[in-house]
């Protein structure tokens, strides 16, 4: 039973011990007035089990210790996100959540020094000063956790946590946090972490960061791995950069394997902001893909491992995704490659180029039925597909491998000038 595992993780005692018993009783008691919580806990466990990089076991325990309250109805507010502070760089954190926030919803930013936790009792509230965003100066470089709470303290709607890693703050430097909340005026929608010298502490000296806008802007010679990028107008996001193939600089927007634990059967909003583990299977987020690809002229490479694990690829010399109001419609240029031009077939019933994105709760395909419900995952469905990569249990790429492709990878980077 899930609760048994829960309580064992929380109490670290034997399965028959009194603490374990107490924990189980508390969970049972908490579940009575909140029947959907059990379901929420199960959902969260599945999601958390998919998240490893940047998510701490201790945080999971705290998280799950409080899941019997109302806080975790929205699984996406659960994971802790690492925030790295580098010299002369600033980070912008958004307290955004994948659902509409009422304009009068109270927002509280909080900070817990030196600890990595999701226990709100340990946080200090950061007071907003009149006329400017609330801020916190860290006198000494320190670790800590930043929390954003949406809703009244007695009735929390959602929380987000950011773990501040300032290990790269050098001693003569201090970190200043400038806080803001969603649903308010633009300057208040974000939390900015600035780093500056002690001799230059005026707020006007705060400097905007310059994270790479995509993986192609990483320093030459950088290895493949996880990086923070910040597309223009967006908060920093974590992505995997593929730096080894074809001159590197590729931003990985999708990765999947036949035996993935990810179901891929997610909602529109989950696809919008992404899911999975950047080190293994993941979807970067339809909105983020759109935001990255609108910065410059991009190309895309689909990499497919076929049934026999041969690597095939399909390049399109142009790649863009329209904005959400246009359904995240896909636009591809002309094809070269070894996998076959399966995204842009001549058959209108299974073409993907120029199609809107569809999920099980957002049918924008050209079929009478709901392709995403019927065929799974979220994709640029027509009626319905010749390519199905966002799928658990074997992907499809045209006639190359039908439901038994081993792995897939979708990479984008700025197109070379011709
Ligand atoms: Ca339809």
Q: Ligand 1 centroid to 357 CA: how many Å?
A: 11
Q: Ligand 1 centroid to 224 CA: how many Å?
A: 39
pTM of the model: 0.55
Q: Ligand 1 centroid to 342 CA: how many Å?
A: 21
Name the DSSP class of 167: T
Write down the pLDDT at residue 171.
35
Q: Ligand 1 centroid to 353 CA: how many Å?
A: 17
Q: Ligand 1 centroid to 368 CA: how many Å?
A: 5
Question: Residues 386, 393: contact at Cβ < 8 Å?
Answer: no
Question: Residues 396, 307: contact at Cβ < 8 Å?
Answer: no
3-state secondary structure of 229: strand
Structure token pair of residue 268: 């529109």
Q: What is the largest CA-CA distance in the chain?
A: 71
Q: Ligand 1 centroid to 371 CA: how many Å?
A: 6
**Cα distance between residue 43 and residue 41, in whole Å:** 5
Q: Ligand 1 centroid to 267 CA: how many Å?
A: 16
Q: Ligand 1 centroid to 367 CA: how many Å?
A: 4
pLDDT digits (tens, 9 = 90+) for 184-206: 333 333 455 554 433 333 333 33
Q: Ligand 1 centroid to 374 CA: how many Å?
A: 10
Element (H, E) at 256: strand 250-257
Q: Ligand 1 centroid to 362 CA: how many Å?
A: 9
Q: Ligand 1 centroid to 35 CA: how many Å?
A: 34
Q: Ligand 1 centroid to 259 CA: how many Å?
A: 29
Question: Residues 398, 357: contact at Cβ < 8 Å?
Answer: no
Question: Residues 161, 80: contact at Cβ < 8 Å?
Answer: yes
Sorted by where each starts, the structural domains of the chain and their CATH numbers stand as: 2-72 (no CATH), 80-205 (2.60.40), 215-414 (3.90.215.10)
- The CB density around residue 228, as the number of other CB atoms within 10 Å, is 17
**Cα distance between residue 365 and residue 355, in whole Å:** 7
Q: Ligand 1 centroid to 101 CA: how many Å?
A: 29
C-alpha dist (Å) from residue 361 to 224, 226, 364: 35, 31, 10
- The CB density around residue 47, as the number of other CB atoms within 10 Å, is 17
* pLDDT beneath 70, residues of the chain: 1-3, 5-15, 23, 26-82, 84-103, 127-142, 155-158, 165-210, 418
Which chain residues have CB less than 5 Å from ligand 1, an ion?
A: 363, 365, 367
For helices 36-50 and 18-31, the axis angle rounded to 10 degrees is 120
30: Cα within 13 Å, side-chain hemisphere: 19
């Amino acid at each position: 039973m899930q609760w048994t595992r829960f309580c064992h993780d929380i109490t670290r005692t034997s399965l028959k011990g009194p603490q374990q018993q107490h924990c189980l009783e508390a969970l049972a008691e908490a579940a009575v007035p909140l029947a959907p919580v059990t379901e929420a806990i199960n959902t969260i466990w599945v999601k958390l089990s998919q998240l490893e990089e940047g998510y701490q076991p201790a945080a999971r325990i705290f998280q799950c210790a409080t899941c019997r309250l109302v806080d975790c109805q929205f699984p996406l507010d659960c994971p802790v996100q690492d925030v790295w502070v580098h010299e002369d760089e600033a980070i912008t954190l958004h307290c955004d959540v994948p659902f509409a926030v009422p304009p009068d919803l109270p927002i509280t930013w909080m900070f817990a020094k030196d600890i990595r936790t999701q226990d709100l009792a340990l946080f200090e509230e950061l007071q907003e000063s009149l006329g400017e965003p609330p801020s916190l100066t860290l006198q000494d470089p320190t670790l800590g956790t930043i929390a954003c709470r949406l809703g009244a303290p007695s009735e929390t709607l959602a929380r987000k946590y950011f773990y501040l890693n300032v290990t790269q703050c050098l001693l003569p430097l201090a970190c200043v946090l400038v806080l803001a909340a969603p649903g308010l005026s633009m300057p208040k929608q974000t939390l900015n972490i600035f780093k500056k010298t002690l001799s230059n502490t005026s707020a006007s000296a705060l400097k905007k960061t310059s994270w790479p806008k995509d993986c192609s802007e990483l320093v030459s010679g950088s290895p493949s791995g996880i990086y923070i990028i910040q597309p223009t107008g967006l908060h920093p996001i974590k992505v995997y950069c593929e730096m080894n193939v074809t001159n590197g600089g590729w931003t990985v927007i999708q990765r999947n394997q036949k035996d993935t634990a990810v179901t891929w059967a997610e909602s529109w909003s989950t696809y919008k902001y992404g899911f999975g583990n950047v080190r293994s299977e993941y979807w970067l987020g339809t909105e983020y893909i759109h935001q990255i690809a609108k910065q410059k002229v991009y190309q895309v490479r689909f990499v497919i491992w076929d049934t026999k694990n041969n690597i095939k690829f399909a390049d399109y010399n142009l790649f863009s995704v329209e904005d959400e109001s246009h359904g995240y419609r896909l636009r591809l240029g002309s094809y070269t490659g070894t996998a076959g031009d399966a995204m842009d077939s001549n058959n209108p019933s299974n073409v993907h180029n120029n199609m809107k994105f569809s999920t099980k709760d957002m049918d924008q395909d050209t079929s009478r039925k709901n392709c995403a419900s019927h065929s799974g995952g979220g994709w640029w469905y027509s009626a319905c597909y010749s390519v199905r990569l966002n799928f658990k249990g074997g992907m499809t790429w045209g006639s190359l491998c039908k439901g038994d492709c081993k792995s897939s990878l979708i990479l984008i980077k700025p197109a070379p000038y011709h």
